[in-house]
Structure 1
Amino acid sequence: SGPTFTIWGKNACPNVNGTEMVYNGFTGGKSYSEKGGGANTLCLPHNPEKLPYGISVIDGDDFGHLYGAEYQFSVHRVHIQEDVPCAVCRVKMASSSIMIPGKHSCPTYWRKQYSGFLTASWHEYESTEYLCLDDDPDFIEGSRRDDNGRLFYPVKTVCGSLPCPPYENNVLVGCVVCSK
């Protein structure tokens, strides 16, 4: 097994001996105008899988947001406002793990470490990384004080630059961590 990397702006991995594609899809992340949401950029698969359960929140709008990505320049065959593709690639003969947003199963021949749901800061707060929180998270005993700090919110999709279909608007996003 080998390390993984994402190639941004391409539908396929480089044509290099020993490099293979794990999956390809759409580039996604927070809106440039929102202070909150996830801070990192994601490669979203073409075939998302629905979260098999709901999540209760305090307020109806207590979610991070996940948007698609657009180019803000033109170069070669690419034009302003076009959406950005991505591919996640693996270099053979090493050891790796990967978090895949929008899925709860792993690609063929990958081992699932855990599945869960995508979390980030609330979309009105400062940014955080999108992180895959386990389906069945634990808590620290005696920690029920309202101290704030780094806050986790579930993330919902926002259609537009994020293509719907295959994605659906205002839907919670699952995730899985796989190893090979």
Structure 2
Amino acid sequence: MCLPLVTIVLATVVVVVRNHECKDYVLLASDQSLIDMMKQYLHTSRRKECHRKTSNTGVTFVRWGKKGCPKESEIVYTGQVGGNDHESKGGGVNYLCLPNDPENGQHQSFNNDQVHGGEYELYYSHKPLGWSERMHNKEVPCAVCYQKRRSAVLMIPGRKTCYKGWNAEYNGYLMSDHVIYNKKEFACVDINAEPLDNKNGNENGALFYPLRTKCGSLRCPPYTNEVDVLCVVCTK
């Protein structure tokens, strides 16, 4: 039923009720039929409206260490990791996913370089289980992904699976800069991380080191001392 027709029916019912000569009256079968019909219309229209709102929602997240997005999510853009140099004392601390098709600004002569590339720092004795040391000094790729019909995104450190009711987008290892350098954020790097390309040069910049736990103020159990820190990115 279209909205104008429902409006007419509602107006008719109101007029009939207002013009009714009796103060005490009961609804006729035909009146109840109209009411039931209007209830059904409102129920259906609200359900469709709710579906439209839900289908238009979604969340974005960065998949660190990969050029593509997980299955069933859309790729917004792919790029390479950037960030402040590991020895810089000021400026930004977060990693950036820089697109591969930038729109570059004007050349400037002032000294405030804060956007460098990102590299894996992986040595034969300092790398996550299953990773190759051949990734050492390779640049880090990234992808910005969009997952439809979700309203929240959460990175859980210390787990490789999501809690009940949440959907895993990808899992991996928690990484950041080295403890002797300046602070960077914690990033969940895909467990099957790959290099940006085959270029191999120790150019530093924003560095990615694997992390491990340290018992003490960190309670063990449930945690274990000096092990890789797992992570998982979940949506709902």
**TM-score, length-scaled by structure 2:** 0.38
| Structure that is richer in strand per residue | 1
**TM-score, length-scaled by structure 1:** 0.50
Larger radius of gyration between Structure 1 and Structure 2: 2
Q: Which structure carries more relative contact order (alpha carbon 8 Å, separation 6+)?
A: 1
